[in-house]
Structure 1
């Protein structure tokens, strides 16, 4: 990525995060409010008035994530490329839990941005249309299972994938529990038989599902949205979207 390639060290990474508004550092003492502060040992400030010390990352995005700015950016970069969490952890030599924490910061904000929802139901469907080399995604809460019971679907993990129904090229039903009435008409998905544009789109998230890496509805929607942005506008744009989302402190409800 062009942006990440220009960031060579933690100082540059910190400057970049501050410039785009992701990292906010207070320029005053958190204890007495004095604005006369100075740097001491690495990443710590000291107040000239009350003489107390504190980490400069207190109350910042790094408060609960003990990681240097450069590696933080690199993790976002790898997430934007759609890499597996374990692979990111191994490649960057950071703990899996750290990568998971950073992905969690993005998860619900990203789902809300792409699908326009605050709360994800335990059972829902996603309609996907391919039009003029573009992709449209729609989150649909209303499920009419009885209308789907006699239509063949292709099973992928907890997904039931229908083709060319309700005006969608792909109509994906997700449920936390097995839907017995749909199981009768299920068959194993065959990616080789799918149209080229369908195959390219679903390859990314289908690989994760087959490896057991998508375990719940939030992860599924995150991965679908991730695949969507990568396919339509590239991972560079997804990186910028992720950074924009991290500027917000808004908490998205369960």
Structure 2
């Protein structure tokens, strides 16, 4: 990631996050509103008027994620590359829960930004078109789809060239009996290269039990789709954009 090669420390990382609108810091006292404030120790300020202290990260993205700005950016970079949480935590020497918390935060914002939804349903579909677009749909025509061959991976039913979609992926928390009789093993040979990369990446993670719930499935589909079509750099900035 070119931008991270230029960012050498937390101060530069913080400034970058401020400039792109992810990190919003207030320059006034949160208690009395005075702008006569000064720094007293690392990341803390004190008001000259009311004499109260506070963290400069109050009401910012770092309020509940206690992590240094540079490591925060590096975690987002690694997530944008499609790396597993465990590996990121080990390589960056942070806790698994810290990386997981950042991933969940990105996903929640991403759902709103990309699909305009707040929460996932137990049954939904993702349509993938050749023009690089993703469409989320909570209305799944099970009766119609039950007559079409699908290629199953765990709780995903994959339909190729359904309507105007190159791929139509249905996720269900419970097996769909009407789909099961036409389910076959995923075949990666009859689709074009970029879709093959997409399916291969997330189907392997699902098969190995690395993805276990709806949130992880959708995050991984979006993640791998952007990586396959636009590269991890663009996904890195999409993640940051979602966090604004």
- Label 1:119 to 1:55 Cα distance change in 2 as closer, same or farther (>3 A): closer
Does residue 228 (structure 1) correspond to residue 210 (structure 2)? The answer is no
Measure how far apart 1:49 and its partner are.
2.7
Q: Which residue of 1 aligns with 2:82?
A: 82
Alignment counterpart, residue 204 of structure 1, candidates 194, 197, 201: 201
Measure how far apart 1:70 and its partner are.
0.5
- Structure 1, residues 159-193: CA drift from partner, whole Å, max 9, x if none? 01122332433222211111122122222224356
- Label 1:56 to 1:179 Cα distance change in 2 as closer, same or farther (>3 A): same
Unpaired runs of 5+ residues, structure 1, are 248-254
The runs of at least 4 aligned residues of structure 1 exceeding 3 Å deviation read 116-119, 190-195
- Structure 1, residues 66-86: CA drift from partner, whole Å, max 9, x if none? 101110111111111121111
1:34-49 equivalences in 2 (<5 Å): 34-49=34-49
TM-score scaled by length of structure 1: 0.87
Q: Which residue of 2 aligns with 1:239?
A: 236
Alignment counterpart, residue 184 of structure 1, candidates 151, 160, 181: 181
Counterparts of 2:97 and 2:42, CA distance in 1: 24
- Label 1:39 to 1:205 Cα distance change in 2 as closer, same or farther (>3 A): same
Corresponding residue pairs, total = 244
- Structure 1, residues 38-86: CA drift from partner, whole Å, max 9, x if none? 1122211122233322222122111111101110111111111121111
Counterparts of 1:119 and 1:53, CA distance in 2: 37
Alignment counterpart, residue 156 of structure 1, candidates 153, 165, 168: 153
Unpaired runs of 5+ residues, structure 2, are none
Query: Is the 1:162–1:172 Cα contact (8 Å) retained in structure 2?
Result: yes
- Report 1 or 2 for greater relative contact order, CA contacts < 8 Å, sequence distance ≥ 6: 1
Measure how far apart 1:145 and its partner are.
1.9
- Label 1:137 to 1:55 Cα distance change in 2 as closer, same or farther (>3 A): closer
TM-score scaled by length of structure 2: 0.90
Query: Is the 1:111–1:225 Cα contact (8 Å) retained in structure 2?
Result: no
- Structure 1, residues 174-222: CA drift from partner, whole Å, max 9, x if none? 1111112212222222435654332112122212212223222222222
Q: Which residue of 1 aligns with 2:115?
A: 115
Counterparts of 2:165 and 2:29, CA distance in 1: 57
RMSD over equivalenced CA pairs, Å: 2.0
